[in-house]
Amino acid sequence: MSAGRRVAIVGVGYSDVGRHSGLTERHHAAQAAVRALEDAGLDASDIDGATTLGGDAGDFAWMLGMGPLAWHLNFGIAPAFVAPAVEAARAVAAGACETAIAFRLMMQQPSSAAAAAGSAAIAVANVDDTEFQFPFGDFSPTQWAGLLMNRYLHDTDATEEHFAQFAVTQREHAMGNDEALQRAPLSVDDYLSAAYISKPLRLLDCDYPCDSGSAVIFTTEERARDLRQPVVLVDAMALVSDHDMNFELLPDMTHTAPARCADTLWSRTDLKPADIDTAQLYDGFSVITFQWLEALGLCEPGQAGPFIAAGNTRLGGSLPLNTDGGACNVGRRHGANFCIEATRQLRGQCGERQVDGAEVGVWSNAVGPFAGAMLLTKP
Whole-Å CA distances, 118 to 115, 125, 318: 5, 19, 48
Return the range that interacts with another protein (CB under 8 A); candidates 5-13, 134-142, 178-186, 347-355: 134-142
Return the range that interacts with another protein (CB under 8 A); candidates 73-81, 86-94, 142-150, 365-373: 142-150
Supply the Cα-derived Rg of the chain in whole angstroms.
19
Binding of another protein by 77 (CB under 8 A): no
- Edge-to-edge strands of the sheet including 360-365? 71-75, 49-53, 99-106, 212-220, 7-14, 232-241, 370-377, 360-365, 278-280
In three-state secondary structure terms, 52 is strand
Alpha-carbon span 124 to 295, nearest angstrom: 27
Residues 188-227 that bind another protein (CB under 8 A): 195-201
Q: Where are the beta strands (DSSP E) in 258-327?
A: 278-280
Q: Are strands 360-365 and 278-280 parallel, antiparallel or unpaired?
A: parallel
Provide the b/e sequence for 279-290 (b: ≥16 CB within 10 Å): bbbbbbbbbbbb
Q: Which of 194, 231, 249, 271 binds another protein (CB under 8 A)?
A: 249
The amino acid sitting at 133 is Q
Residues near another protein (CB under 8 A), total: 42
Alpha-carbon span 184 to 178, nearest angstrom: 12
Least distance CB 292 / another protein (angstroms): 19
Contact between 161 and 192 (Cβ < 8 Å): yes
Least distance CB 141 / another protein (angstroms): 10
**How many alpha carbons lie under 13 Å from residue 65 in its C-beta half-sphere?**
6
Residue closer to another protein by CB (options 49, 146) is: 146
Whole-Å CA distances, 181 to 17, 55, 204, 306: 9, 24, 14, 28
Give the contact letters, 297-326, x = binds to another protein (CB under 8 A), - = no.
Answer: ------------------------------
Return the range that interacts with another protein (CB under 8 A); candidates 97-105, 180-188, 248-256, 276-284: 248-256
Residue closer to another protein by CB (options 150, 318) is: 150
Binding of another protein by 122 (CB under 8 A): yes
Binding of another protein by 157 (CB under 8 A): no
Give the contact letters, 99-118, x = binds to another protein (CB under 8 A), - = no.
Answer: -------------x--xxxx
Residue closer to another protein by CB (options 142, 229) is: 142
Residue closer to another protein by CB (options 145, 362) is: 145
Residues that bind another protein (CB under 8 A): 112, 115-119, 122, 129-140, 142-143, 146-151, 154, 195-201, 244, 246, 248-251, 253
